[in-house]
Amino acid sequence: MKRIAVVTTIYRYLTHAQHFADRFLVGYPKEGKWHRPNMKVVSMFVDQKPEGDQSQDRAREFGFTVYPTIAETLRCGGDKIAVDAVLLIGEHGEYPHNEMSQVLYPRYEFFKECVKVFEEDERAVPIFNDKHLSYSFEKAKEMVDDAHRLNFGLLAGSSLPVTWRLPDVDLPLGCELEDALMVGVGGSDPMDYHALEAMQCMVERRKGGETGVAAVQLIDGDEVWKSGKEGRWSMELLEAAFSRSDTPCGLTDEDGRTQDMIANGEIYRLVDNPSAYFIEYNDGFKATLLMLNGAVRDYCVAVKLKDEPVPVSTQFFLTPTPNVTYSACLVSKIEELFETGDAPYPAERTLLVSGTLESCLMSRHQGHVRLETPHLNVKYRPPAESQHAQR
């Protein structure tokens, strides 16, 4: 039975730590059955324990210890590393923001504490790092480099690439893409990260594999609509993405009517401050993320394949609280990492998205300028088989 250490910022109701660690404690639904991992949480580090903290209650119920330091957590209070894997969740809690409104979660710092133990004890174990590797591309790259240097499996990122899709579609590996548009909702930088990685898991399957990002630009407000009318992003793809949404707002909320939000102009009334993230890849491909708070409440993508008249479009299905079973889809990938030592898809995807988001926010901070990004020369091959939930 694999022994798991949980290293997290905070552990209370509906935090990521609660979503993920609880599933290793009690199991989770998988492919129509209740699945119990052959794994045991044996130790935990929690950085902040505000009102509602659940870590001590979970420790009493399931028989593990909450330690005061990360080193003690990995060593279970002893002299040598005593776990087989680390579940690192640096999300939620009270942490400072920088000038670009990024939350400075200590994921990098937690990760480096783990690496220090690996080096001192001459044994490295797999790590799952939730969401961004870091708000800083430089720190994120060091994390990936550490994993390669010490030869341990590293998995990271969002649950959107592995949740169910409505409809259940994927892009053929090696396909030729002409355009892609993602629709997302929520604030920055937590939710635009999810949307960018969902888009990335689709476009990385294009011919030649991932080549990295050459330049980005982030614009806001009326300039977003103007850029659409000028053809910088595709109205056809926006319509295709909207066609997959289950949550159109405005008139549909009011009286249930079906609506074409672009044709009837509702989109312009509902979205107070749209944002467009323009991503230019090294191979010449371009993709766009539109954050459209007020129009819909879900995440949808549309992609134009060469010589195909109808775009491929789908919704990344987010199940409701409190069970949030789409997080179980990600836990199944984490379990695979912990069991085999190998990540089911490369951490370089998350590395690229982490850096892309940082550069987009820098574009906004510098007055919405286009920024060239030679540092985002991140190349990788996506897995041959799709990793999203299908049953």
Give residue 69's pLDDT: 98
Q: What is the mean pLDDT of residues 263-284?
A: 96
Q: What is the mean pLDDT of residues 61-70?
A: 98
CATH number, domain of 312, equals 3.30.360
Q: Tell me, yes or no, whether 311 and 172 share the same domain.
A: yes
Q: What is the pLDDT of residues 153-185, one digit of tens each?
A: 999 999 999 999 999 999 999 999 999 999 999
Q: Tell me, yes or no, whether 275 and 188 share the same domain.
A: yes
| pLDDT(369) > 90 | yes
Q: Tell me, yes or no, whether 153 and 168 share the same domain.
A: no
In a domain, residue 32? The reply is: yes
| pLDDT(190) > 90 | no
Annotate 232-283 with DSSP letters as a single string: SS-HHHHHHHHTT-S---THHHHH-----TTTTSHHHHH-SS-EEEEEEETT
In a domain, residue 291? The reply is: yes
Q: Tell me, yes or no, whether 138 and 259 share the same domain.
A: no
Note down the domain range covering 146.
Answer: 2-157
CB-CB neighbours of 162 under 10 Å = 25
Q: What is the pLDDT of residues 301-328, one digit of tens each?
A: 999 999 999 999 999 999 999 989 999 9
pTM, full prediction: 0.97
Mean pLDDT of the chain: 97
In a domain, residue 380? The reply is: no
Q: Tell me, yes or no, whether 67 and 109 share the same domain.
A: yes
Q: Tell me, yes or no, whether 6 and 153 share the same domain.
A: yes
Cβ atoms of 135 and 163 closer than 8 Å: no
Q: Tell me, yes or no, whether 12 and 131 share the same domain.
A: yes
Give residue 319's pLDDT: 93
Give residue 287's pLDDT: 98
In the listed set 261, 286, 316, which residue is the last one of a domain according to the structure?
316
Give residue 386's pLDDT: 87
In the listed set 157, 174, 193, which residue is the last one of a domain according to the structure?
157
User: Please, where are the H alpha helices in 76-189?
Assistant: 107-121, 137-150
In a domain, residue 138? The reply is: yes
Tally of domains in the chain: 2
In a domain, residue 70? The reply is: yes
Q: pLDDT grade, residue 37 (50/70/90)? A: very high
Q: Tell me, yes or no, whether 75 and 130 share the same domain.
A: yes
Q: Tell me, yes or no, whether 134 and 215 share the same domain.
A: no
Token code pair at residue 148: 């390669």
Q: pLDDT grade, residue 238 (50/70/90)? A: very high
Q: Tell me, yes or no, whether 95 and 231 share the same domain.
A: no
In a domain, residue 329? The reply is: no
- The CA-based diameter of the chain, rounded to the nearest angstrom, is 67
Q: Tell me, yes or no, whether 62 and 169 share the same domain.
A: no
Q: Categorise residue 76: left if φ over 0, alpha if ψ from -120 to 50, beta otherwise.
A: left
